[in-house]
């Protein structure tokens, strides 16, 4: 039989890395084919080859049984391949119609844009596939879910028959993700073939017809959801058994460690990002803050760690007022911080691993005597942590930027856990990490909790919150609109709360 798409023996080498190693991949017409793999498994490379962004070193690509050479995205689009990137390629100040016709403008009378015809076609497509969008709306006014929809319409407008969706659910709340799955099924039913890239196992079962798992640049296997389980897929991805559920005992909350009262914080543009948030975290419990990104979580964490001034309210740790205290004073209160943006805040990329591991303790014994650094002590400390936290690096003098994302995050976690702490603030601690790293970091968080550390976990991944938190606070538009006991919190309820819907009695 002929496939909508067949890739045979695709090999791509980067200096020092074999990103794709003789990959065979076949996509049937009208199927949703899930491409599963950890970060660095070679998914993106393979798709970038298909989309004409990279040239393969070896291998052939066939569309409907015919060999094609794709040397640029223009070729790919011409051949009916559409890609929805993780980061949308939309211009916020233009309308939906303008964005969609960008690059394929319809012109009447020589040079006048024919917006009406375009809008008409957009409506047709919307209607045909159940993708409702208003062609005259401005992108900046649309929620993320709809912006994604615009990207899909754009691909369809360019007559794509094969759609590549690159981690499309990363930015969506559960309800929006469900909507997306419905749309995907509708598209497949009408003959579109979809490649769905993800590393979330749950989604695979929700939507995929077939699954291909990649690991270390190779195809580990292709299977169907009916023949697989979450743990069998995880094992395929990682190459060993993975414990998916976090094993933990019920929390034994102690005294209040972090207390936040009526906190108000401005964002960079001067608008109220945190608007009167109040909550507390006790020793030995994990408080999870759930919420769609951009509802003030970032500013909240920055305010708590001294990186952003507050304009009102009070923050205290162990009864000590630390409102607007310096980051150093807060960290000396026993606060560890795993920052949301590890490249920006968590590490100095050009510094060796060893220096990064003492980034906030360099001035203390035994790393410094007076103002003189003790490099031996720093190096020994580094070796100990590298072993203990299994940070994969050939040398503690390797610049941190040369490490993979997972190892960078382990380095940060190792540093924050290497001193006595009372409170751990972890912001998106597993974002962009592979399954193995996530497992490791989750274990460490629970371990810290069991040792009596108060843990504040901020995450956009609802699954993460639900599996780790003892109590869940939902943040919406700068406020904590509800706090639930984790054992009683249901996914659907949380999803509604994240969208700002508070029903009384919840």
Partner 1 sequence: MQNLSHNTGSPEDERRVRVGLVTDVGHIDDGTFNQYAYEGLRRAATELGLEYTYIETVRPEDHEVNLLILIEEQCGLIITVGNGLGKVVERVAKEHPDVDFVTVDFVVQPPLSNVLSLVFAEDQAGFLAGALAGCITRSNIVGVVAGETVPPVLRFRKGFARGARYVNPKVRVLSEHVESFNDPDKGRSIALSFVERGADVIFGAGGRTGSGAIRGAAEAGAWVIGVDQDEWFTTFERGRAPGSDRLVSSAIKRVDIAVENAVRDWAAGRFKGKSNWLGSLRNGGVGLAPFHAAENVVSQEIRARLNEVTIRLRDGALQTRIGPAGEDQLETLWDRLRVWDWGELAVLVLAVCTALLIGAVVIWVTRAADLRGAGLPWSQVIQEANALVVSAYGGLYEGAIGSPRALAGSLIYCTPYVMAGLAVALGFQCGLFNIGVEGQLYMGALCATVVGFSITGLPIYVHLPLAVAAGALGGAVWGAIPGALKAITGAHEVINTIMMNYIAVKTVDYLVKNPLKDVTATLDRTPFVAESARFPLLVPQLNIHSAVLLAFAAIGLVWYFLFKTTWGFEIRTVGANPSAARYAGISVKRSFVLAMALSGMLAGMGGLDVVLGRPSEYALKAAFSTGFGFDGIAVAMLAKSHPLGVFPAAFLWGALRNGAGLMQVRAQAISIDLVNIIQGLVIMFIAADQIIRWLYRLRARGEKAVVFTRGWGR
Whose CA is closest to 178, among 472, 499, 473? 499
Closer to partner 1 at the Cβ: 335 or 482?
335
**Any contact of residue 352 with partner 1 (CB under 8 A)?**
yes
Peptide bond just before 366 cis, omega within 30 deg? yes
Q: What is the spatial distance between Cα 190 and Cα 127, in angstroms, rounded to a whole number?
A: 13
**Any contact of residue 377 with partner 1 (CB under 8 A)?**
no
82, 346, 429, 478: which one binds partner 1 (CB under 8 A) = 346
Closer to partner 1 at the Cβ: 38 or 470?
38
Q: Is 387 exposed, middle or buried (0-12, 13-18, 19+ CB in 10 A)?
A: exposed
**Any contact of residue 339 with partner 1 (CB under 8 A)?**
yes
Concatenated DSSP letters for 15-56?
A: TTEEEEEEEEEEE-TT-EEEEEE-TTSSHHHHHHHHTTSS--
**Any contact of residue 270 with partner 1 (CB under 8 A)?**
no
**Any contact of residue 429 with partner 1 (CB under 8 A)?**
no
Closer to partner 1 at the Cβ: 152 or 403?
403
Are 306 and 329 within 8 A, CB to CB?
A: yes
Please give the span between the terminal C-alpha atoms of the chain, in angstroms, as a whole number. 54
Region near partner 1 per CB under 8 A, out of 162-170, 269-277, 286-294, 366-374: 366-374
Region near partner 1 per CB under 8 A, out of 12-20, 80-88, 261-269, 476-484: 12-20
**Any contact of residue 15 with partner 1 (CB under 8 A)?**
yes
**Any contact of residue 21 with partner 1 (CB under 8 A)?**
no
60, 69, 108, 376: which one binds partner 1 (CB under 8 A) = 376
Are 477 and 275 within 8 A, CB to CB?
A: yes
The CA-based angle 33-467-497, given to 5 degrees, is 85
Q: What is the spatial distance between Cα 349 and Cα 494, in angstroms, rounded to a whole number?
A: 37
DSSP H/E element including 222: strand 218-223
Residues in 27-66 that interact with partner 1 by CB under 8 A: 38, 40
Which are the contacts of 36, defined by CB distance < 8 A and separation ≥ 6?
43, 198, 199, 201, 204, 211, 212, 213, 214, 233, 236, 237
**Any contact of residue 309 with partner 1 (CB under 8 A)?**
no
Shortest reach from residue 85's CB to partner 1, in Å: 16
**Any contact of residue 305 with partner 1 (CB under 8 A)?**
yes
* Packing angle, helices 144-157 and 115-129, rounded to 10: 110
Shortest reach from residue 302's CB to partner 1, in Å: 10
Region near partner 1 per CB under 8 A, out of 69-77, 433-441, 457-465, 496-504: 433-441
Residues in 177-216 that interact with partner 1 by CB under 8 A: 216
Region near partner 1 per CB under 8 A, out of 26-34, 152-160, 325-333, 465-473: 325-333
Concatenated DSSP letters for 397-424?
A: TSBGGGS-HHHHHHHHHHHHHSS--SEE
Buried b vs exposed e over 199-233: b needs ≥16 C-beta within 10 Å? bebebbebbbbbbbbbbebbbbeebebeebeeeeb
For residues 222 to 261, the per-residue mask of contacts with partner 1, x marking binding by CB under 8 A and - elsewhere, is ----------------xxx---------------------
For residues 386 to 425, the per-residue mask of contacts with partner 1, x marking binding by CB under 8 A and - elsewhere, is -xx---xxxxxxxx-xxxx-xx----------x-------
Region near partner 1 per CB under 8 A, out of 59-67, 367-375, 466-474, 497-505: 367-375
**Any contact of residue 221 with partner 1 (CB under 8 A)?**
no
Q: Work out the number of other CB atoms within 10 angstroms of the CB of residue 394.
A: 7
**Any contact of residue 22 with partner 1 (CB under 8 A)?**
no
Kindly determine how many residues on this chain lie close enough to bind partner 1 according to the rule CB under 8 A.
68
Binding residues (CB under 8 A) for partner 1: these are 14-17, 19, 38, 40, 216, 238-240, 305-307, 326-329, 331-332, 337, 339, 344-352, 355, 359-360, 362-363, 368, 371-373, 375-376, 379-380, 383-384, 387-388, 392-399, 401-404, 406-407, 418, 434-437, 440
């Amino acid at each position: 039989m002929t496939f909508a798409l067949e890739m045979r023996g695709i090999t791509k080498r980067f200096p020092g890395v074999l990103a794709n190693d003789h990959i065979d991949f076949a996509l049937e017409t009208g199927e949703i084919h899930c491409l599963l793999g950890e970060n660095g498994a070679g998914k993106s490379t393979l798709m970038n080859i298909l989309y004409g962004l990279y040239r393969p070193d070896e291998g052939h690509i066939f569309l409907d049984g015919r060999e094609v050479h794709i040397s640029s995205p223009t070729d790919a689009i011409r051949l009916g391949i559409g890609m929805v990137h993780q980061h949308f390629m939309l211009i916020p100040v233009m309308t939906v119609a303008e964005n969609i016709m960008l690059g394929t403008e319809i012109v009447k009378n020589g040079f006048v844009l024919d917006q009406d015809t375009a809008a008409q076609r957009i409506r047709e497509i919307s209607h045909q596939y159940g993708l409702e969008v208003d062609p005259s709306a401005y992108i900046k006014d649309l929620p993320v879910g709809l912006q994604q929809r615009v990207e899909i319409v754009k691909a369809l407008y360019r007559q794509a028959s094969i759609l590549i969706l690159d981690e499309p659910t990363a930015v969506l709340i559960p309800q929006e993700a469900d909507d997306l799955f419905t749309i995907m099924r509708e598209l497949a039913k009408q003959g579109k073939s979809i490649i769905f890239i993800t590393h979330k196992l749950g989604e695979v079962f929700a939507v995929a017809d077939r699954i291909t798992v990649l690991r270390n640049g190779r195809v580990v296997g292709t299977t169907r959801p009916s023949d697989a389980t979450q743990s069998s897929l995880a094992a395929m991805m990682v190459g060993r058994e993975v414990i998916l559920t976090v094993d933990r005992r019920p929390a034994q909350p102690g005294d209040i460690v972090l207390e936040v009262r009526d906190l108000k914080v401005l964002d960079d543009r001067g608008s109220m990002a945190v608007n009167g948030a109040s909550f507390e975290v006790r020793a030995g419990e994990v408080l999870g803050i759930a919420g769609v990104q951009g509802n003030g979580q970032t500013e909240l964490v920055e305010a708590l760690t001294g990186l952003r001034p507050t304009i009102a309210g009070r923050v205290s740790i162990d009864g000590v007022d630390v409102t607007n205290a310096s980051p150093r004073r807060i960290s000396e209160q026993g606060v560890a911080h795993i920052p949301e943006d590890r490249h920006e805040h968590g590490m100095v990329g050009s510094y060796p691993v060893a220096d990064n591991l003492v980034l906030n303790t360099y001035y203390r014994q035994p790393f410094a005597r007076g103002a003189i650094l003790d490099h031996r002590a720093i190096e020994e400390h580094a070796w100990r942590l590298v072993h203990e936290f299994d940070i994969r690096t050939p040398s503690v003098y390797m610049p941190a930027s040369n490490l993979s994302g997972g190892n960078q995050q382990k380095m940060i976690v190792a540093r924050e856990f290497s001193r006595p702490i009372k409170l751990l603030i972890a912001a998106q601690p597993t974002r962009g990490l592979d399954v193995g790293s996530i497992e490791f970091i989750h274990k460490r968080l629970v371990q810290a909790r069991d040792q009596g550390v108060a843990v504040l976990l901020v995450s956009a991944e609802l699954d993460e919150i639900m599996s780790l938190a003892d109590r869940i606070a939902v943040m919406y538009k700068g406020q904590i609109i509800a706090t639930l006991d984790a054992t009683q919190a249901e996914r659907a309820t949380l999803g509604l709360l994240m969208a700002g819907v508070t029903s009384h009695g919840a």
